[in-house]
């Protein structure tokens, strides 16, 4: 890997969507703007949105594919396997992850194999719990943040065992393979009022279940 991951070798930015037609064009615009002059591509994996997200993505992204709805983790892995550059950035499509941080994120790959952009404030109880438990073992505050930069080899030969783990398994698998995890802290913009993964109770239960699955994968 060259010392400047952002300049020489190219960056593949991957996002997954489910009904993000209001946000996807703006996300792609901001990614292109911040990576202007750098070799890059944007890949959108849409899980059969019903609001026309795919049509918008096809207009602006380099690659836009549709598949059956299987959740964010499988969507991310699917998209990562379509990438052509050695540096991969994953980012949520809902504009809660500032694309403007991508250069700082990829720059940190000089001293790590995978870098997580961690929010300074974690909104959900389950996310705080993950941070204080498995996150401590990983050295990552925002364990379920999918705003990350990866050297491509960290995801090679990776098959998800846990199903939907909101990206947790990707982190655990990389750690188990001995890759170095880094972190970039950032202050997130305000969250939207209706997250796709469910309201407060449902989201907390789903995230806690994902946390248990990640622990099992980490230790067994
Ligand atoms: N491919 C795919 N992507 C999904 C699915 N559900 C959510 N996403 C995407 O995953 C990203 C995160 O979803 P959010 O609803 O923002 O979940 P969250 O960020 O944990 O929730 P908030 O913190 O409240 O925003 C967004 O880009 C969604 O469009 C899904 O079933 N399949
Ligand atoms: Mg979100």
pLDDT at 3: 43
Query: Which protein residue's CA is at the shortest distance from atom 22 of ligand 1?
Result: 195
Task: Give the predicted TM-score (pTM) of the model.
Answer: 0.94
Q: Please state the domain count of the chain.
A: 1
| Cα 49 from Cα 185, distance rounded (Å) | 31
Three-state DSSP string of 68-121? CCCCHHHHHHHHHCCCCCCEEEECCCCCCCCHHHHHHHHHHHHCCCEEEEEECC
Residue-level pLDDT, tens digit, the chain, 220 residues: 334 444 458 999 999 999 999 999 999 999 999 999 999 999 999 999 999 999 999 999 999 999 999 999 999 999 999 999 999 999 999 999 999 999 999 999 999 999 999 999 999 999 999 999 999 999 999 999 999 999 999 999 898 999 999 999 999 999 999 999 999 999 998 887 766 676 789 999 999 999 999 999 999 8
Expressed in angstroms and rounded, the spacing between residue 131 Cα and the centre of ligand 2 is 17
> Range of 174's domain?
11-219
Q: Given CA atoms 26, 168, 174, 16 in this order, what sign does their dihedral have?
A: negative
Residue 1 lies in a domain: no
CB 164 within 8 A of CB 74: yes
Nearest to 206 by CA among 167, 172, 166, 171: 166
Alpha-carbon distances of 142 from 17, 82, 116, 135, 200, rounded to whole Å: 21, 26, 8, 7, 18
Q: How far is the CA of 195 from the centre of ligand 1 (A)?
A: 7
**What residue's CA is closest to ligand 1, atom 24?**
195
Mention every residue, 6+ apart, whose C-beta is less than 8 A from residue 59.
25
Query: Of the ligands numbered here, which is closest to the C-alpha atom of 126?
Result: 1
Residue 4 lies in a domain: no
Per-residue confidence (pLDDT) for residue 195, from 0 to 100: 62
**Token pair recorded at residue 131:** 């941070």
pLDDT of the residue at 135: 98
Largest CA distance in the chain: 45
Q: What is the pLDDT of residue 36?
A: 97
Is 5 inside any structural domain? no
Overall residue count recorded for the chain in this entry: 220
* CB proximity list for 201: less than 8 A, separation 6 or greater: none
Per the rule left: phi > 0, alpha: psi between -120 and 50, beta: everything else, 167 is: left
Residue 121 covered by a domain: yes
Domain at 131, CATH number? 3.90.550.10
**Regarding beta strands 40-46 and 63-66, do their DSSP bridges make them parallel or antiparallel, or are they unpaired?**
parallel
Give me the residues near ligand 2 (ion), CB cutoff below 5 Å.
92, 94, 96
pLDDT of residue 159: 86
Ligand 1 pocket test, pick from 196, 198, 203, 206 with the greatest ligand atom count within 8 Å of Cβ, gives: 196
CA–CA gap between residue 9 and residue 35 (Å, rounded)? 13
Top mutation candidate among 14, 16, 45, 186 for ligand 1, by most atoms within 8 Å of CB: 16
Residue 3 lies in a domain: no
Residue 2 lies in a domain: no
Residue 191 counted as domain residue: yes
Structure tokens at 213: 């699955």
């Amino acid at each position: 890997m060259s010392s400047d991951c952002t300049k020489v070798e190219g960056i593949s930015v991957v996002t997954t969507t489910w009904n993000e037609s209001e946000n996807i064009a703006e996300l792609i615009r901001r990614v292109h703007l911040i990576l202007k002059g750098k070799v890059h591509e944007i890949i959108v994996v849409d899980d059969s949105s019903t609001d026309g997200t795919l049509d918008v993505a096809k207009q602006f992204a380099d690659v836009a594919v549709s598949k059956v709805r299987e959740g964010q983790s499988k969507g991310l892995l699917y998209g990562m396997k379509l990438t052509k550059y050695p540096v991969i950035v994953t980012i949520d499509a809902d504009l809660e992850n500032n694309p403007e941080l991508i250069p700082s994120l990829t720059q940190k790959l000089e001293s790590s194999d995978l870098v997580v952009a961690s929010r300074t404030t974690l909104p959900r109880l389950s996310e705080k719990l993950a941070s204080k438990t498995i996150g401590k073992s990983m050295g990552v505050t925002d364990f379920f943040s999918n705003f990350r930069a990866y050297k491509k080899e960290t995801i090679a030969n990776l098959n998800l065992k846990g199903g939907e783990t909101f990206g947790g398994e990707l982190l655990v698998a990389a750690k188990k393979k001995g890759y170095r995890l880094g972190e970039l802290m950032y202050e997130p913009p305000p969250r939207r009022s209706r997250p796709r993964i469910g309201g407060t109770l449902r989201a907390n239960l789903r995230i806690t279940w994902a946390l248990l699955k990640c622990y099992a994968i980490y230790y067994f």
